[in-house]
Structure 1
């Protein structure tokens, strides 16, 4: 089976060429303790039987400086595409987005509204100042990864999807649904969002580990989510090296949890969705 890792991070050893500039001023623990270079990522992918990967900007190490993911994707276009972090609140955000894409440029962008170094969920991603950014993303057909937590901010997500139905939004880690508390309730809450055709889900170890813990109840989450979105709007990502496990272990975890899905669905989640979202992968892949 074909595998594309839709969510992994790289960090250079060259601090001169690629200085640290973490968003919020605080480097994440994983970026400091277990960084992986682009070369290291290729080696891990080869070990794991993963042909291609989406390099998602390590925002908690580089902030808005996308140089390393861009340089790495340019050096190995047959293996990587780059997703960079941008500030959509800037007055020139739309123009900056146009300039950042194209040949050798970004294949997608990421908005970082919460995380280990930004614990409070920001809701600025639907502020009027961001509207030119979203309009430009729709014109460019550029996927926007949204790192956010479902809950109080879900209403802002829905407003965004209704206001800009042409934008492709990838919800990183599926928005951290509370699978541990109730797989069925979490599945129903995520499934409600499936009516928004521009919304895609990024399934990572942060969800898969909770589903593994849920055991037989994992299907209570997966079944309604896959039914509502279809496998064609779900993409698997390892989250290496933020995830502590090795890449072969992360792939095995995903295969274990998704083993009950039809083969067609698994092919979509493991590669097909990512290739449609990021056409340059298809240009170089199988």
Structure 2
């Protein structure tokens, strides 16, 4: 099957901005939304074979999901139009493709500029820095994503391994995004401290913490954003991404969701907090994802709400472009 038949052409996305504005007004905000976390995957296993052997949900589940419910441009465009989302960020889905970025890059190339790609590159390969620089220059890639586990001694050696440091340098020089997600899914002051040190060392890299680096799902006064977050907020190249996963961890309680977002904005400023749906990974209807985001930001000032739901993400992922 030819690529033209596999990927929906740019025309699919035409008019999305106008539709986004119309739907956004219908949802009670006067601006289109910008979704900073969408994971794309295709049912075309010939053109884009899966590499799901190590998928966290299991290879069989990932394969069935892609085969029967692909998160492809047709689905995403339809949901974006319906829910007032004008554009967003495609985050390479390691569970499906690991560091084979071809599908994401194809989606972005045919999106009429609506999808900004963030790739995965293997820091242990010698050509990783050159590959990241090439992808940024040739394909408009905004940065790279890295997921890593906590070591038995409580450290995160992958954050500053020899290979990662080379990628940090490229990101710093080109002002790219370094998107990070630690495991396990629990708050860790040591991780946040290490991020602060790297933020100082690479001040031009834009560090985005997926799912806000897992703040504890608790209530007032901290809502999980404790003193270690307050210390990290002093580094102005660090950004928090609040997602549906954060809302799920507080069981979609509106008061707790609002508390989370308002506390994050209080510490970091609305210009350093952004929303991402986690579409393609979190398996609830997209309309619910958007409605949770709208509910969680309802207590913010109009400008702060626009920052979180639109302007912060749009600005941060324009890094290097």
TM-score by length of 2: 0.78
Which residue among 23, 41, 46 is the counterpart of 2:81? 46
Higher CA-based Rg: 2
Instruction: Show the counterpart of 1:140.
Output: 174
Which residue among 177, 185, 197 is the counterpart of 2:215? 177
Q: Deviations over 1:228-278 (max 9, x none)?
A: 211111110100121122111111001111100101011011110111112
Written as runs of structure 1 = structure 2, the 5 A alignment for 1:101-112 is 101-112=136-147
> How far apart, CA to CA, are the structure 2 residues paired with 1:13 and 1:27?
19
Written as runs of structure 1 = structure 2, the 5 A alignment for 1:65-214 is 65-114=100-149, 123-149=157-183, 150-151=187-188, 152-180=190-218, 184=222, 186-188=224-226, 189-211=228-250, 213=252
Q: Is the 8 A contact 1:31 1:242 kept in 2?
A: no
> How far apart, CA to CA, are the structure 2 residues paired with 1:36 and 1:69?
11
> How far apart, CA to CA, are the structure 2 residues paired with 1:57 and 1:146?
13
Instruction: Show the counterpart of 2:275.
Output: 236
Q: Is the 8 A contact 1:11 1:36 kept in 2?
A: yes
> How far apart, CA to CA, are the structure 1 residues paired with 2:163 and 2:280?
33
In structure 2, stretches of 5+ residues that fail to align are 1-30
Provide runs of 4+ in structure 1 moved above 6 Å. none
Q: Deviations over 1:83-133 (max 9, x none)?
A: 111122322222111111124342221112159xxxx99531212332221
TM-score by length of 1: 0.87
Which residue among 25, 30, 34 is the counterpart of 2:54? 25
Shift of 1:58: 0.7
Q: Secondary structure at the match of 1:111?
A: strand
Instruction: Show the counterpart of 2:313.
Output: 274
Decide which moves more: 25-34 or 264-273: 25-34
> How far apart, CA to CA, are the structure 1 residues paired with 2:309 and 2:258?
18
In structure 1, stretches of 5+ residues that fail to align are none
CA RMSD of aligned residues (A): 2.6
Structure 1 residues 49 and 223: alpha-carbon distance in aligned structure 2, compared to 1, 3 A threshold: closer
Q: Is the 8 A contact 2:92 2:120 kept in 1?
A: yes
Number of residue pairs aligned between Structure 1 and Structure 2: 276
